[in-house]
Amino acid sequence: MKNNDSAVFSSVMQFINGYASKDLEACMRVISTSAPVIFFGTNLDEVLRDRESIETALIRDFESISDIHFGEYQQLFTHADNSLASLMIELPISFKVAKESQQCIFRYAFCLKKEGSDAWQIYAVMLSVPFSSETISFDNK
């Protein structure tokens, strides 16, 4: 990995590891403070356009799910220039909701920019959970 690519990967992993350990401060530390932000979550109502709503959504997740574990990434794409970067990653996740175990794949797309002392900060995220082959349905009733 090139130097910038490695630094971008490190920032994204800080967010992902912070999420797994329910460490709000670690997650928020890598969210941009100088650029507009947008996060698309997995639910229809998860379109987050500011740091406060991102923090609120993370707290809501941390209160409703437990035993969060990410596996090793299965797919990774990263590209960074001197000030902007994108990273896409696919990794398995397991967690519990109301003591019921869940397992799925998370696919994230991150956009980052360099801020301040060369720190890579996240300003856009899209999260998806892919369906198994031949099972997709777009019925949003």
- The tens digit of pLDDT for each residue in 72-88 reads 999 999 999 989 999 99
Residue closest to 62 by CA, chosen among 24, 34, 35, 100: 24
Q: Does the global pTM surpass 0.85?
A: yes
The pLDDT > 90 percentage for the chain reads 82
Residue closest to 19 by CA, chosen among 131, 113, 122, 100: 122
Q: Which CATH number fits domain 3-128: 3.40.50.970, 3.50.50.60, 3.10.450.50, 3.40.50.1820?
A: 3.10.450.50
Residue 139 is predicted with a pLDDT of: 65
Domain boundaries, the chain: 3-128
Asked if pLDDT for residue 25 goes beyond 90, the answer is yes
Mean pLDDT for the stretch of residues 18-47: 96
Residues 24, 58 contacting (CB under 8 angstroms): yes
Q: Rounded to an integer, what distance in angstroms lies between the CA atom of residue 13 and that of residue 1?
A: 15
